[in-house]
Amino acid sequence: MEYVIETQNLCKSYRGKAAVSSLNMHVQKGDIYGFIGRNGAGKSTTLKMLCNLAHPTEGSISLFGKSPDTPSVRRRMGVLIETAGLEPSCSAHENMVLKALLMGIVDPEKQICQLLRLVGLNPGDKKKARHFSMGMKQRLGIAMALLGGPDLLILDEPINGLDPEGMNEVRRILMDLNRKKGITILISSHILGELSKMATRYGIIKDGCLIQELSSEELNDKCRDYLCVKTADSKKASVLLEQQLGLSRYEVHPNGEIRIYQKLDSSAVTSVLTSADISVQAIYTHHQDLEGYFLELMEQNKSQEKGGIFYA
């Protein structure tokens, strides 16, 4: 498969300290790829490398199947990284004109007005960017990233500092761009709840390592309810349940929990185990949400050296 973004073994160190380690990212055409991680996880550093604003210490990047410094590739990308690039003494319209000039766009006026309106800014507003609220800065940043009609948008924390209404608005704009214009979007955030309303694929980064890439369907699947069974001997218990109740979709966690993702009657589970002299310490249905899954993944990663999860 040819990816819009693919990185291989991408690494970046600052003064010998790794900010990004051996990162292999895969963004497909048409994705809204949610790049999630806590503060300091390495999101911005990764995005800066993709946008040629930082040089990898090791590894390689391919954009649209080509090297990232290919001029035709750069023209297909729109970037919002921090709110850098905004000229504080200029209005939204003037900022757009400056950027259009830099990009060599001929006769940009119509495009500028359309884009400003698209993000909910008034092209005639004379207010200087230095007096903008965070939300206005983010909207202007998105409009500037859209100049030239990119096929790929890379947005670093575009919903940071927005109130819920602002987040809804930005989400609506991005989803429209993705669905109606087919723009692939890579968007970093630590606000999982908001990202989950638009992302079609996720990359989860922790301490510079991409610990998981998964589609929204896979994430939803992981976040489904499960029957949790705690026993003193999870290995023996799971084998018995496989043999006697047809258990097939489950995980055994390092803390001894068996998580069952198929419909099994809890009293049947208890009966099978107790008749084999395996005492059931706890059995209950667990309701998982996205934030819970994310937090658990962060914790699990810590305990991976201690055994990790076994997937059936």
Ligand X SMILES: Nc1ncnc2c1ncn2[C@@H]1O[C@H](COP(=O)(O)OP(=O)(O)OP(=O)(O)O)[C@@H](O)[C@H]1O
Contacts with ligand X by CB under 6 A lie at: 14, 19, 37, 39-45, 190
CA distance 241 to 239: 5
CA distance 165 to 157: 16
In the bound complex, what is the minimum distance in angstroms from residue 238's beta carbon to ligand X? 37
In the bound complex, what is the minimum distance in angstroms from residue 11's beta carbon to ligand X? 12
Nearer to ligand X, 93 or 190 (CB): 190
In the bound complex, what is the minimum distance in angstroms from residue 204's beta carbon to ligand X? 11
In the bound complex, what is the minimum distance in angstroms from residue 207's beta carbon to ligand X? 9
Nearer to ligand X, 44 or 91 (CB): 44
Coil, helix or strand at residue 13 = strand
CB pairs under 8 A, 24+ apart, for 113-117? Answer: 115/143, 115/146, 115/147, 116/92, 116/140, 116/143
CA distance 77 to 295: 32
In the bound complex, what is the minimum distance in angstroms from residue 14's beta carbon to ligand X? 3
Nearer to ligand X, 35 or 226 (CB): 35
Nearer to ligand X, 157 or 257 (CB): 157
Beta strand residue intervals within 147-208, DSSP E: 152-156, 184-189, 201-206
Answer yes or no: are the C-beta atoms of 244 and 236 closer than 8 Å.
Answer: no
Nearer to ligand X, 81 or 273 (CB): 81
